[in-house]
Structure 1
């Protein structure tokens, strides 16, 4: 049974209950004098405590996904391969890629999620559970990949699809993206309704070295998280799937720490991501107990940290040619003040749109209200289609401006507008 499988968690919980019941039942007999009874009592306490702690540890790990499989837990991770394996060129999916940079994985909690595509992939799409291997960073990160129905349809067999890299918060894992935010379920519905273009979505966690929070930063002498997200992950996706090669087809999307990462990735690396969505993200990265030292000591470390302060970048560096969507709440979110400062600091050619709720705290109830309009917004920023063979430039997809099709902001005197979030029913 997999480390994150529901069957293992249920089995261990049942064993814990049985151990507690057996200890209560046998305790009168073990209360007698004698070294055997003393050892019996100690054994009963140890076994009961271990069973309870194991059940709790499995439940916490299944929810936050510190470790995705037994090898990660035991430190037996494979070394990343040095070469890129290419797909079959037509309907390449992870099932066809053996020993490549994206490899099939166990369910990783996917078996717990309801509402995922059921039926022929050409009609309902598909969600794959994978391991993403960094050729440069040698990191191995768990992920889910959503493939829209069009990916498997004959009329799209020559098309490269746009990509959303959706990043969870910390210490949450990819399960939260599928179970609580329902990213693949919402995307499937929006695509079926014609409100979102067919898009490949890769769902990942923000850390590449759990349980440390790497915050999408290249740590001096440590994990190279920014390199993983801007180079390794795109290379791996391009090696296994028919996805766009131009940055205009790539966008980052996240909530909480994942939102922080998304903004950092796009603003610091506009040649990798040309749009970003941040739901309740921060605008600067700071060291804390979960991150350790991310930037290193001395003046060099201080400058490195300043460069990860997005307000500082907007005031001191040229604006990148990217589009971003930020979301916050007037009441209940601590980042509201910084969000407004960020919005007012943005200047062309960068564009910023926003979702500002009247009230909403830092939790999934708030993000579920924002995720559907945010998916629609980012879909409008991404170029589709891109041919798998050289051809004359394609016209923009319906609903796109020429600027958006080129990865540029539409010509507009305003650099900010508001996106309406779906209001709760009733």
Structure 2
């Protein structure tokens, strides 16, 4: 529709001055868009990532279309003005859809307008006593009743009892094996999206539920339980997974959330059965919390994480009370050095091949983790950037092996 409208606004322009005016307006719109991408993305780094050529192209095309429409608002008949006005939201929507395709964030409009498309899951049905997971679970466990074809995804409220952190509802995934009588104790994956974001993104954009359902279908319904708590508080807030004036995010994620999981879900209670996974800001959290708490997590997946936690120029002032020492201590490399040597900890670092900045971060933290004694792996996703295409590439290649590792954990 956008292409047809653009063609109409061009072809039907009065010749020759009207056509020249319309073409110039479109070129000015495209040039202004590219300048804005350069200014906000490259100079001011507002988004914290490098904008890809594809994203810049779609923004330029949308603004070029708007330029065409604006040029047709003057000196045109009334119906042409109406068509020009209708064209503007169509051009904007087409550009947004193109950018979304580049980032791989949303599959449909519902996911755009709904921050959490999942229903509340009654916790009374989830109670279980945490303890030791049986050894050889994959080989020995079989359900006493027919298994559901798919796992269940829903929202739960995890109280901030110790931290008083203002967290949004978490989203959890229960595999088929967790939904039958006499369910076994299962391993846990704690997962974080990036910022801005909501916990649901790990299942809508990241497809964790679908990937683990496919694994469970081949392993007697067995797969890890996934808990995606809120590490942000609000989409536009970044507490940096530390305790600070912005919020006691670290205490919430390492005390309140694990306590709730143990008291409400039938899970294993050994660190080798717990993993922590994150993307972008969530990836930074995964290495901060996983590296800082080996007593909780023995498996870490950091996808496109940052080299240091940051909220911009006032990071130290707002997040660390002006203490440079406290800020330095919260950096992933500092955390890894402070807890060296690690024993029986596996860490996977990943980034998109087109994501020059974050692939550099991944290599740096990968090297430090290897030096600290972790069993490490570096994954570079071909042809992707700082986007959910990278996440999906990594999930498809790591979650099945990760599930087998966690289900095979020893007591």
Whether these two folds match at TM > 0.5 is yes
1:182 to 207, 222, 246: 207
> Does structure 1 conserve the Cα–Cα contact (< 8 Å) formed by 2:308 and 2:332?
yes
Worse-matched range after superposition: 306-315 or 250-259: 306-315
Shift of 1:362: 0.6
Question: Residue deviations 1:298-320, cap 9 Å, x none?
Answer: xxx21211122222344565233
For the structure 1 residues 210 and 351, does the alpha-carbon distance in structure 2 shift closer, same or farther, using more than 3 Å as the test? same
Q: Does 1:305 align with 2:310?
A: no
Could you tell me how far apart the structure 2 residues matched to 1:216 and 1:320 are?
21
| In 2, Cα distance between equivalents of 1:237 and 1:317 | 25
Q: 2:231 aligns with which of 197, 206, 223?
A: 206
Query: What is the Cα deviation at residue 274 of structure 1?
Result: 1.4
Instruction: Give me the whole-angstrom Cα distance separating, in 2, the residues matched to 1:245 and 1:198.
Output: 16
- Structure with the higher fraction of residues in helix conformation: 2
Residue 258 of structure 1 pairs with residue 287 of structure 2: no
8 Å contact from structure 1 (residues 150, 198) kept in 2: yes
Count, aligned residues = 280
- Using a 3 Å threshold, how does the CA distance of structure 1 residues 60 and 194 change in structure 2: closer, same or farther? closer
In 1, Cα distance between the equivalents of 2:220 and 2:347?
19
RMSD: 3.3
Q: CA deviation at 1:250?
A: 1.2
**Offset from partner CA, 1:239-271 (integer Å, 9 cap, x none):** 211112222221111111111111111101111
Structure 1 counterpart of 2:410: 405
> Structure 2 CA distance, aligned partners of 1:147 and 1:355?
27
Equivalent position SS for 2:169: strand
Alignment check: 8 A CA contact 2:160 2:256 kept: yes
> Structure 1 stretches (4+) deviating beyond 6 angstroms?
59-62, 64-69, 289-292
- Measured at CA, do residues 247 and 361 of structure 1 come closer, stay the same or move farther in structure 2, by a change above 3 Å? same
The residue number in structure 1 matching 2:380 is: 356
User: How do residues 151-300 of structure 1 correspond to structure 2 at under 5 angstroms?
Assistant: 151-154=178-181, 156-157=182-183, 159-194=184-219, 197-208=222-233, 211-219=236-244, 221-288=245-312, 293-297=318-322
User: TM-score by structure 1 length?
Assistant: 0.59
Alignment of 1:62-81 (within 5 A): 63=112
Q: Distance in 2 between matches of 1:341 and 1:260?
A: 13
Q: Any gaps of 5 or more consecutive residues in structure 2?
A: 1-107, 128-145
The unaligned stretches of length 5 or more in structure 1 are 1-58, 70-91, 99-119, 385-396, 398-403, 407-426
Paired position in structure 2 for 1:146: 173
Task: Note the alpha carbon deviations across 1:325-372, whole angstroms, 9 max, x for none.
Answer: 110133334122232222223235322112113432111122222212
